[in-house]
Amino acid sequence: MNHVETRIRVRYAETDQMGVVYYANYLVWMEVGRVEYCKAQGFNYRDMERDDGAFLVVTEAECRYLAPALFDDEVIIETHVLEARARSIRFGYRMRQAAGGKVLATGATNHIICGTNRKPMRLPEKYRPYFSEG
């Protein structure tokens, strides 16, 4: 699967005094995109944690802001895997306005797979096909 699109509507609480989405909310949207990416692949991220003790721990996050999102805008979060290794995954994101397609921000997050003991582990075999690059 190349990328997964997730639609959200900007809530008033996500904006700052200037009526623009507060910058940290883009990181939250990236998380929303990751969870929906997993669902589109055919599994729930929650189940991977609960049933298999595998957690995707964020080790790095980056975001480049290109245009403001405003209250009540519909935003499309495009999520895809940039790199998948035995013990780490890198996701890429593009957030754009649903109306017109203007790119609002791009970003990436690096994750290490950790077990319930908070120590690095290999991604369980059954999940590897879900995180193939593309």
Closest by CA position to 29, among listed 9, 13, 49, 44: 9
16 is catalytic: yes
First-to-last C-alpha distance (Å) of the chain: 7
- Nearest alpha carbon to residue 73 among 22, 11, 5, 6: 11
Cβ–Cβ < 8 Å for 76, 103: no
Question: Residue 52, by phi and psi: left (phi above 0), alpha (psi -120 to 50) or beta?
Answer: alpha
Which one of 16, 47, 51, 72 is the catalytic residue?
Answer: 16
- Find, among 131, 34, 44, the residue nearest to 86 by Cα: 131
The neighbouring-strand residues paired with 9 are: 74
Q: Which residues are catalytic?
A: 16
